[in-house]
Amino acid sequence: MDTIVLALVLVQVTMIDGAKVFFNPEFVVKVYPTKEASGTPNTLVAKGARCVITLSDGKFLSVVEPCDYVLQLVEGKQPRRR
């Protein structure tokens, strides 16, 4: 009997309201810092977001983690503490 093993890897980040959200890193299209993260007020992203993750289905996640941390998670590396 053949055995098929499937593995799904999900990444956890924190939304600006404190909720934890999981996403598949294979669906990430773009990761970019918010203007707030660089010291300029945001006009399109909710206050408190430091990074925006765009997914292949057109949805985006505004998260409190910095983009370098998110990129390490997406790349499968063990990120340094925030």
pLDDT tens by residue, 32-82: 998 766 666 666 677 889 999 999 999 999 999 999 999 999 998 877 655
* Model pLDDT, residue 69: 95
Number of domains present in the structure of the chain: 1
Residue 12 lies in a domain: no
Predicted TM-score of the model (pTM): 0.80
Does 44 fall in a domain? yes
Closest CA to 55 of 25, 15, 75: 25
Write out pLDDT tens, residues 2-29.
888 877 889 999 999 999 999 999 999 9
Domain membership flag for residue 45: yes
CA dist list (Å): 20 to 5, 38, 43, 63, 64: 27, 24, 24, 10, 11
Return the pLDDT at 79.
72
Domain annotation covers residue 3: no
In a domain, 2, yes or no: no
Tell me the residue range of the domain where 32 lies. 27-82
